[in-house]
Chain A
């Protein structure tokens, strides 16, 4: 039976982990490579890096991080943030990323998704959807949630599936950072409207939120803070899901 995935996400800026770190045995708290290794040793089903480096001159730092991580962690590695072109994707894959997540570029130019999935295979193309509630449903935003687009999230999800996306990483902007749980309705609506796997993101504060995320129809749940701050370990999260009869890899 296919297991539901738990994916810890690390925000990386200028090659360093941004959010907090409470691992006691960490030599270098800001080293994404070491943190990723702790996650994979702890049973993470995948690792996700979100590169939030703002300046162009430091953008190459992520390649080095990916390269080093992929030599130490032997679980799938997804990398997103600032991915603009097929060439960017190619470079990340060559450094050892297994999947690349595309956000703004996918909205601005769907051809990037079409071309890259044809060139590298759908399995490594993840489209990241940042969605916010409005009167009509959910609207997608780009540029790390700063720019509204007027595009309906459900329509965009179906369009990306047709363009060749292998997975959708859906983040609720209303919920992100609140620790009050995923936007369950959003996850349900998108999961049931596409035939590709959905990764739920944004809002996890407790282990029950992970349970709710899976029950909403998502194939995987992504979380940052609860793992970063050491509130729960990946293994604790998996044991809890298993206790709620949710199939996970233990």
Chain B
């Protein structure tokens, strides 16, 4: 099996690579590439994302044909795809970080700044927070409710259809921190930095 981590200049992806390689051992081939042919032929795709919504969308658009290939992979062929952090946020129709920017539009909704309640909550939301699992998700197999995950973000995904939400976390309000829509999975937290429990989520995705 081939799992491809999309390399599109979205910031620091070395931790994502290290964690997937740790979980995959020699059983699964982990490819890190922006090569369209390789992405197309892989079994699963991971879409990481750091920095701003706009910089990540720009990164995707700067590689000619990449968005089309991702659409084909996730929407037409319905193959499993995992978005992490801004990778998840880009599923939305639109994001408002830096400036209004169009997203991939895979899951209707928007990405807006977390309400810090006039400074009551520090931003970025950095650190370990518990997730509240609200729906069975395949990537949460053997993951206990209220497990701690590592977060670092200032913006949140607000999907229109609440049925896609698989987990939330409490920071200022109930922030959407995981989604599942058919073959599309996303985590706002960083499984690659969430110790053994995070690696288990990666393992679940690899074994889908």
Contacts and interface: CB of A to CB of B under 8 A. Distances in A.
A91 to B, nearest CB: 11
Given A96-B15, A120-B11, A121-B50, A219 B195 contact: no
Contacts of B194: 74-75
B106 interface: no
A1 B116 contact: no
A45 B128 contact: yes
Is the contact region of chain B dominated by helix, strand, or loop, or is it mixed?
A: mixed
Contacts of B105: none
B150 interface: yes
Interface in B24-61: 50-52, 55
Given A74-B194, A122-B154, A124-B50, A196 B12 contact: no
Contacts, number: 98
B126 A120 contact: no
Nearest to B21: A71
A206 interface: no
B12 A3 contact: no
A195 interface: yes
A98 B15 contact: yes
Interface residues of A, number: 32
A120 B150 contact: no
Contacts of A121: 11, 50-52, 55
A95 B52 contact: no
Interface in B155-201: 170-171, 192-196, 198-199
Given A2-B171, A71-B18, A96-B15, A166 B126 contact: yes
A3 B129 contact: yes
B153 A195 contact: no
A93 B51 CA distance: 13
B199 A74 contact: yes
A74 B122 contact: no
Interface in A102-123: 119-123
A249 B148 contact: yes
B11 A74 contact: no
Contacts of B152: 76, 123, 166
Nearest to A196: B122
A75 B193 contact: yes
Interface string A164-189: 00110000000000000000000000
B14 interface: yes
A240 to B, nearest CB: 17
Interface in A70-106: 70-71, 74-76, 93-98
Q: Which of A75, A95, A167, A219 has the most CB of B within 10 A?
A: A75
B125 to A, nearest CB: 7
B127 A45 contact: yes
Interface of B: 11-12, 14-15, 18-19, 21-22, 50-52, 55, 116, 119, 122-130, 148, 150-154, 170-171, 192-196, 198-199
25 contacts: A3-B128, A3-B148, A4-B127, A40-B195, A70-B18, A71-B18, A74-B15, A74-B22, A74-B198, A74-B199, A76-B150, A93-B14, A98-B12, A98-B15, A120-B51, A124-B12, A124-B50, A166-B126, A166-B152, A196-B123, A196-B124, A197-B122, A197-B126, A249-B128, A249-B148
Given A45-B127, A74-B192, 18 more contacts: A2-B151, A3-B127, A45-B128, A71-B18, A75-B193, A93-B12, A94-B12, A120-B50, A120-B51, A121-B11, A122-B154, A166-B126, A167-B124, A167-B126, A195-B116, A195-B123, A219-B127, A220-B127
